[in-house]
């Protein structure tokens, strides 16, 4: 039994997630995504796919990277 860091729910199937030197305990992937997923620097949506990274900024897609002035990131179409 562990308590979710995000919503405070205590759940017997909670899990811990570690990324680099930070970790958290969550009762659901939704809460884990809320706490851990990067946000697109252009549209601010939560990036739960691969996304794209440039200079420490994350983008959900090449379109958003391009809109923010990043050149050379392309989606495969």
Which region among 1-9, 15-23, 48-56, 66-74 touches Zn ion (by CB under 5 A)? 1-9
Determine the Cα–Cα distance for residues 75 and 3; give it in Å rounded to an integer: 39
Does 43 sit near Zn ion (CB under 5 A)? Answer: yes
Does 6 sit near Zn ion (CB under 5 A)? Answer: yes
Closer residue to Zn ion in complex, CB, 7/48: 7
Alpha helices (H) along the chain? 29-36, 62-67
**H or E element in which residue 34 lies:** helix 29-36
**Interface residue list for Zn ion (CB under 5 A):** 4, 6-7, 9, 27, 31, 40, 42-43, 60, 64
């Amino acid at each position: 039994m562990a308590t979710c860091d995000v919503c405070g729910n205590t759940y017997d199937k909670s899990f811990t997630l570690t990324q680099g030197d930070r970790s958290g305990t969550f009762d659901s992937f939704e809460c884990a995504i809320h706490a851990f997923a990067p946000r697109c620097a252009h549209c601010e949506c939560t990036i739960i796919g691969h996304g794209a990274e440039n200079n420490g900024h994350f983008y959900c897609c090449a379109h958003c990277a391009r809109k923010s002035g990043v050149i050379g990131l392309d989606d495969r179409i």
